[in-house]
Amino acid sequence: MVMGQTSAIVLAAGMGKRMNSLLPKPLHPICGRAMILHVLDALTPLELEKVVVVVGHGSRQVIEEITSSYDQRVNIEFVEQHTPQGTGDAVKVALTCFSDVYDNLAKDRDILILPGDAPLVLTKTLAALIDTHRQSASVATLLSVMATDPRGYGRIIRNKDKDVARIVEEKDATEEEKSICEVGTSIYVFRQSALAPALRILVPKNAQNEYYLTDVIEVFRQAGYQIKAVVAEDEKEVAGVNDRLQLAFVDAELRKRINTQHMLRGVTIMDPSQTYIDKAAEIERDVTLMPGTVIKGATYIGSGSIVGPYTVLDNCYLGQRAHVTFTYLSDAKLEDDTHIGPYGQS
């Protein structure tokens, strides 16, 4: 979908302290798949030159999960941020995976930057962001959203030409600026030839003594560069995950998407609110899923089958016209016209 020299950087080095977990935050499962894999799924159709994943806490686990579970045709490189010094430093580390800023390719390369904890972001939104960036010939284009409750987020301040003038953090905002509902999403596209020099002059002007990527926007503004913004259509799409409450929210939203896609393809789901389908599952048309059905892993269900109520299928294969009710099956294979249940298990 995206042509030319465009690459991506995925920021996945944070510890995620608020998750209160021994598991690295990027690996928390959402609909049967590690959170960061959903972000990479959104990038795949863009046909990017390369994707650089910045790892830190639990780096070995994160790398192993991605390399074992992700499409090997995608050009993914890993780089480690050994000391957590903020998003600006993480991007600076990631840029070591690219040709020098003065290289001919670097002069025309655009770099999409996004966090590894945004599993609901859609490919079409990222493509629109890149397209706007290219058409406007900006050095930076950011994705924003009109927040229902903007408290705690950086406000987008636009100039008279509707371009981005700056991003102001809430603690630094005036009362008038706090009334603005347009906020940043931590998703950007930068021209590499402008980004690299800007990162070099950042200073950690905050209590955390960290280098913030948002400060690059101020550097560009002072240099007189044009900065654009694209407003995301759906606030939920850019929701991040910092704790278990937010994890449950994005899991529920993605399950709604998955159920909707299956129903539009001809699957009958009697009660979507009580039906849980992992992303990797494959379900043929004219299948009926009764309430209380849980479809986990890479389960396949053939046409005409009836599953449920209150049935769990974990990495199973069901042939056509199978009927499974009140049953738990794991790694099972059922031939056509097989009936199991109630109260069966394998």
- Spot the catalytic one: 18, 200, 244, 257: 18
Catalytic site residue 73?
no
Question: Please, are residues 140 and 225 in contact by the beta-carbon 8 Å criterion?
Answer: yes
Determine the Cα–Cα distance for residues 123 and 232; give it in Å rounded to an integer: 12
Residues acting as catalytic residues = 18
